[in-house]
Structure 1
Amino acid sequence: MITQDSIEALKARLDIVDVVGSYIELKRAGSSFKAPCPFHDEKSPSFTVNPSRQKYHCFGCGAGGDSINFVMEYEKLSYPEAIEKLAASTNFTLHYTDNAHQKKRSNLLETLNEWYQKLLEQNRVAQDYLHERGIYASSIERFGIGYAPVSGDTLRFLEQRRLPTSEAIEQGAIGKGDDGRLFARFIERITFPIHSTSGAIVGFGGRTITGHQAKYVNSSQSAIFNKSRLLYAYHLAREAIYRRREIIVTEGYLDVVMLHQAGFTHSVATLGTALTAEHLPLLRKGEPKIFLAYDGDKAGRAAAFKASKLLSMSGFDGGVVLFEGGLDPADMIKNNQIEALNALLHRPIPFIEFVISETINNYDLQDPKGKESGLHETIGFLKTLSPLLQEEYRPLVAAKLGISPSLIRLGNTQNTQHQPLQLSHHDIWELSFIKTLIERPHITDTLLDFIDGSLLQYHASEFEAALQGRFNDPRLSALMMDDRIRVFEGDEGIKLELITFLNAHYNRELKKLTTQNTVSFDQKSYLIRQIREKIARLKKGELVPLT
């Protein structure tokens, strides 16, 4: 058994706002925080987190307790399992009454990182790379940057230090092949330790310097490492984020290191993945403005577009800064363009304006059908916003499309108790899909490999609300009570429905692409081939991943 002293010491280290806030979005309400209760459906938030008492309580269903109770209830864990999970995420060593079952943490990742740092000091090629990128020795030390050698060296190091193989596999330091042979996950790479919000190392990112096929890799998912909930360097940026009430989100580790080096210490990065709904609770902390600092190439613009839709639909304030001409924040800082960078970061394109512009730019406005399609897609996005914002942005949409504002008919997007919604075939399918996700949450992670909110034309905001667990949202409540909206039956039924939807979606994308005049012939030909390949695979009954 875990000793009571050990449990009390762990509790003293935990902050309930951080623990609960890593699972659900909390909003300040005086000296406490509130949110819709994650344990029952409700129309108004009655779930309260009190930081001074380190307790949570729901006045609706009566759920309550401390950080350990919350993790037990949310993740359906036993009391010891919840304690061990929290201890692992905060780098805390537990003690047990029975020495035979003592589970003393080996500090494996911390030990491995110290070794990586020493190896960097001995590797001239890795040092030269960092020096050429403009990174100071002080930044290398502050961020704990290191170097991972060939696989055999890492395996021998773990064996010499008598670090448990099972724990190394569990924490993503090594892997096991189909033939049972062990291998290091980071080979000949510059390493960037990734920390939890409390500062414990939970994984690594690695950048190749010897031409490996993947430029960057991350630790594999584990009990303590979920790349969709973590932000690189958040533990170093948190104080500045809370003080400035701003956060800069970039796409790369080196961008963050260089931004901190130049004084932009409120900078973080996603871990080689797009910004997702799971990042929102962390981004919400301190209620900062969000500035997306992304590359201005096609991939960067696409990532900024998806993130901007997600953030605007979720009520975040901020905007997008795109870096053109192949430059990124790290390059600008290296070239002593800090004043120019500062000016760029202070002139972001607001999220909603960016989404509208990017949406319309995807269509050939010289073609009346293209203009009409652009109008329909933009209206679909506007309907995800509040009535006030819809009206405010109506003139911008009209100006960009070159049409009269009177043609932008948004209709009444507010649900009423007395008048049922008029639903089209497309509405019915999208709402049925959302209802299926709500009633069968265990399939959500699998399906998100093939579809996200950006693919829905009419109900993207309800989709995001369902993913975030905001089941008290009036739109979701109305959806669940509407008998016209069915739940898709069985795994095979869901697959067939999704294939039909994706086939229609990619055919629309193909038609849209043929009318575009903003991309080169070669690039258009390449994209057309990609989409046709997806359509061909769908026709064979195969689901096609988003990327």
Structure 2
Amino acid sequence: MISNDSIEQLKARLDIVDVVGSYIELKKNGANFKAPCPFHDEKSPSFVVSPAKQIYHCFGCGAGGDSIRFVMEYEKLSYPEAIEKLAGQYNFSLQYTDNKHQQKRSQLLDKLNEYYQNLLTHNQNALSYLKERGIYESSIEKFGIGYAPSSAQTLSYIQKNMFTMKEAIEVGVAGHDNGKSFARFIERITFPIFATNGSIVGFGGRTITGHQAKYVNSPQTQLFNKSRLLYAYNFAKDTIHKKQQIIITEGYLDVIMLHQAGFTNAVATLGTALTPEHLPLLRKGDPKVVMAYDGDSAGAAAALKASRLLSASGFSGGVILFGGGMDPADMVKNGKIEELNNLFRKPKPFIEFVIDRIIAGYDIKDPKAKEGALDEAIGYLKTLSPLLQEEYKFYLASALGVNPSFVKVSSHNLVYSNKKDIQIPRKDMWELSLIKTVLEHPELIDQILDAIDPSILQFHQREFQLAISGKTDIPELMAIAVDEGIISHKNDEELKAELINFLIKYYNQEYKKIQLRSDIAFEQKAFLIRSIRGKITKLQRGELVAYEN
């Protein structure tokens, strides 16, 4: 079993926004983050993640919990499996009470990378290639570039260092086929791929001996998912947040050369097009996104796909396509730093780029083809917000040379719901504020219970009772905890004033009820009236009174 101390140490490292944001795209919403709930089908986001409280809650289906609960529900894992998955992602070594299990996967990747780096220093062909491409020794060290030898040498190293073939296959550095094991990286320059926290999760490899595939990456593993990772993001993230800009290229060498030239906000996709799974990572820090792709047909197609995705997802930024067989690495090598600077400052905006590329695919001298271009472009505009649709319909009309009245976009796809049919449960904000105070300041519970009893609350007795019982993982309480519209009372004096106001109203109502009662004797009624009047008097003097049934 995993030790409790180990679990608590891992929890202390976890950040709910990072964990949930690695699975779904989160958007900043005040102090919290919101998204459509991944656990039920919905159009309006009701899923809230609170970084302050390190919990999530869906106001639609009631799902909620901490980072571990989210991974359990999303990945359909048991509690120990979710713990081990998160430990692997955060490069955290778990301790087990039976001492039979050890987290060796990240150790294997670290050791193998050291081995590859050492081999590079003795391989003149690989060093010559890197030098020819303009890569400095300092960059070789910074990015951990190495060299993978033959399959037999790699397998021998793994076994000599007391790692099993099963562990090597699990982390993607080895494979097994037809009864034989093999190394996945053979006679290649290696580029370690890091998670955002700086731990190695896989490798990329570039052949220098004529293998059919120029580049290969680690296969999908529990640690490595190329659709959620960006090469060198761990090196670039600080600059990305400072400059509010991220440059996305197509290759490792482009990134390394751009970093050499001072563009330390550059990253690269890992042999795949930009996908929706990349968006949570791109959303961090809310940077403008610059797609810096080759100008060939493949690069242009990838840029078009990415631009559609990013613009529909609300990202700002644009596209640069490099022509003349050049790429960012070539421009750095040729000393065209200022030219690059100008390009990165003024990329072609995503929406304009998409519209232009759509139109370029048609012969608009032909009226029928022009109509096709118009229909396709309108279809694209409808993926954008109503405001952007209205703004860019004039750009589209101008590019096609047609009257803007032909560009019919947002009016028919604005959807309004019939609020009359929705039954919203009654909420009392004062009671909810009191409950949130209990959740955030449990040291004030005694003061509250001296003055009131759960039975005198009209709308949220159950939630209040759960809160004072410490059952904070109940969905209703998590909903209250993450609701920014509910304000807790921050100190004794503020709470006292609120309790006094509430109790004055409460005892005034009780006074009226007693006056109207005919089922009790006169003496008892007189006693109750005097008692309630006395409480009201003390409250009006600013004194809290003890609750008596």
What's the TM-score bracket when you normalise by the shorter of the two chains? 0.7 to 0.9
Deviation at 1:406, TM superposition (A): 2.3
* Structure 1 residue aligned with 2:62: 62
- With the length of structure 2 as denominator, give the TM-score of the two structures: 0.74
- The letter for the 1-side match of 2:183 is A
* Structure 2 residue aligned with 1:275: 274
1:412 partner SS: helix
1:46 aligns with 2:46: yes
* Higher Cα Rg, which structure: 2
CA 1:104/1:272 → structure 2, altered by over 3 Å: closer, same or farther?
A: closer
Residues 13-32 of structure 1: matches in 2 within 5 Å? 13-32=13-32
**Root-mean-square deviation (Å):** 1.6
- What is the number of equivalent residue pairs in this alignment? 417
- The letter for the 2-side match of 1:227 is K
2:201 partner SS: strand
* Structure 2 residue aligned with 1:499: none
Q: Which segment is superposed worse, 369-378 or 120-129? A: 369-378
Deviation at 1:74, TM superposition (A): 1.2
Q: Conserved in 1, the CA contact under 8 Å of 2:239 and 2:264?
A: yes
Deviation string 1:170-191 (CA, Å, 9 cap, x unpaired) is 11101111x1111110111111
Deviation string 1:115-171 (CA, Å, 9 cap, x unpaired) is 000011111111111111111111111111111111111111111112111010111
1:321 partner SS: strand
- The letter for the 2-side match of 1:198 is N
Deviation at 1:6, TM superposition (A): 0.9
CA 1:391/1:58 → structure 2, altered by over 3 Å: closer, same or farther?
A: closer
* Structure 1 residue aligned with 2:313: 314
1:126 partner SS: helix
Q: Conserved in 2, the CA contact under 8 Å of 1:36 and 1:47?
A: yes
Q: Conserved in 2, the CA contact under 8 Å of 1:91 and 1:107?
A: no
Deviation at 1:400, TM superposition (A): 1.8
Deviation at 1:379, TM superposition (A): 1.3
* Structure 1 residue aligned with 2:176: 176
Deviation at 1:264, TM superposition (A): 1.1
CA 1:103/1:188 → structure 2, altered by over 3 Å: closer, same or farther?
A: closer
Deviation at 1:104, TM superposition (A): 5.1
Distance 2:379 2:345 in 1: 29
Distance 2:247 2:105 in 1: 34
CA 1:397/1:60 → structure 2, altered by over 3 Å: closer, same or farther?
A: closer
Unaligned runs of 5+ in 2: 419-549
Distance 2:40 2:106 in 1: 39
Deviation at 1:218, TM superposition (A): 0.4
Deviation at 1:24, TM superposition (A): 1.3
- The letter for the 2-side match of 1:145 is I
1:328 aligns with 2:327: yes
Deviation at 1:59, TM superposition (A): 3.8
1:99 partner SS: coil
Deviation string 1:23-67 (CA, Å, 9 cap, x unpaired) is 111222333322233223445433332323322233444333221
Deviation string 1:439-467 (CA, Å, 9 cap, x unpaired) is xxxxxxxxxxxxxxxxxxxxxxxxxxxxx
1:268 partner SS: strand
Distance 1:277 1:174 in 2: 29
CA 1:206/1:18 → structure 2, altered by over 3 Å: closer, same or farther?
A: same
Residues 115-264 of structure 1: matches in 2 within 5 Å? 115-177=115-177, 179-264=178-263
CA 1:256/1:183 → structure 2, altered by over 3 Å: closer, same or farther?
A: same
Distance 2:105 2:355 in 1: 51
Deviation at 1:111, TM superposition (A): 0.7
Deviation at 1:415, TM superposition (A): 3.0
Q: Conserved in 1, the CA contact under 8 Å of 2:106 and 2:199?
A: no
Deviation at 1:403, TM superposition (A): 2.1
Q: Conserved in 1, the CA contact under 8 Å of 2:40 and 2:61?
A: yes
2:205 partner SS: strand
- The letter for the 2-side match of 1:366 is K
Q: Conserved in 2, the CA contact under 8 Å of 1:94 and 1:105?
A: no
Distance 2:28 2:389 in 1: 27
- The letter for the 1-side match of 2:310 is L
Distance 1:173 1:100 in 2: 24
CA 1:176/1:236 → structure 2, altered by over 3 Å: closer, same or farther?
A: same
Residues 285-304 of structure 1: matches in 2 within 5 Å? 285-304=284-303
* Structure 1 residue aligned with 2:109: 109
CA 1:102/1:138 → structure 2, altered by over 3 Å: closer, same or farther?
A: closer
CA 1:197/1:151 → structure 2, altered by over 3 Å: closer, same or farther?
A: same
2:293 partner SS: strand
CA 1:383/1:46 → structure 2, altered by over 3 Å: closer, same or farther?
A: closer
Distance 1:401 1:100 in 2: 69
Q: Conserved in 2, the CA contact under 8 Å of 1:275 and 1:307?
A: yes
CA 1:213/1:69 → structure 2, altered by over 3 Å: closer, same or farther?
A: same
Distance 1:226 1:269 in 2: 14
* Structure 1 residue aligned with 2:75: 75
Distance 1:103 1:391 in 2: 55
Residues 517-528 of structure 1: matches in 2 within 5 Å? none
- The letter for the 1-side match of 2:167 is E
Distance 1:104 1:112 in 2: 12
* Structure 2 residue aligned with 1:472: none
Distance 1:366 1:23 in 2: 46
* Structure 2 residue aligned with 1:85: 85
Unaligned runs of 5+ in 1: 419-547
Distance 1:400 1:238 in 2: 37
Q: Conserved in 2, the CA contact under 8 Å of 1:94 and 1:104?
A: no
Deviation string 1:60-110 (CA, Å, 9 cap, x unpaired) is 443332211111111111010001101111221111111234555561111
- The letter for the 2-side match of 1:328 is D
- The letter for the 2-side match of 1:400 is A
CA 1:368/1:105 → structure 2, altered by over 3 Å: closer, same or farther?
A: closer
* Structure 2 residue aligned with 1:525: none
* Structure 1 residue aligned with 2:427: none
1:193 partner SS: strand
Deviation at 1:394, TM superposition (A): 1.6
2:413 partner SS: coil
- The letter for the 2-side match of 1:187 is I
* Structure 2 residue aligned with 1:545: none
- The letter for the 1-side match of 2:195 is S
2:376 partner SS: helix
1:400 partner SS: helix
CA 1:106/1:384 → structure 2, altered by over 3 Å: closer, same or farther?
A: closer
- The letter for the 2-side match of 1:207 is R
Distance 1:382 1:304 in 2: 17
- With the length of structure 1 as denominator, give the TM-score of the two structures: 0.74
Residues 372-391 of structure 1: matches in 2 within 5 Å? 372-391=371-390
CA 1:9/1:377 → structure 2, altered by over 3 Å: closer, same or farther?
A: same
Deviation at 1:273, TM superposition (A): 0.3
Identity %: 68
Residues 498-517 of structure 1: matches in 2 within 5 Å? none
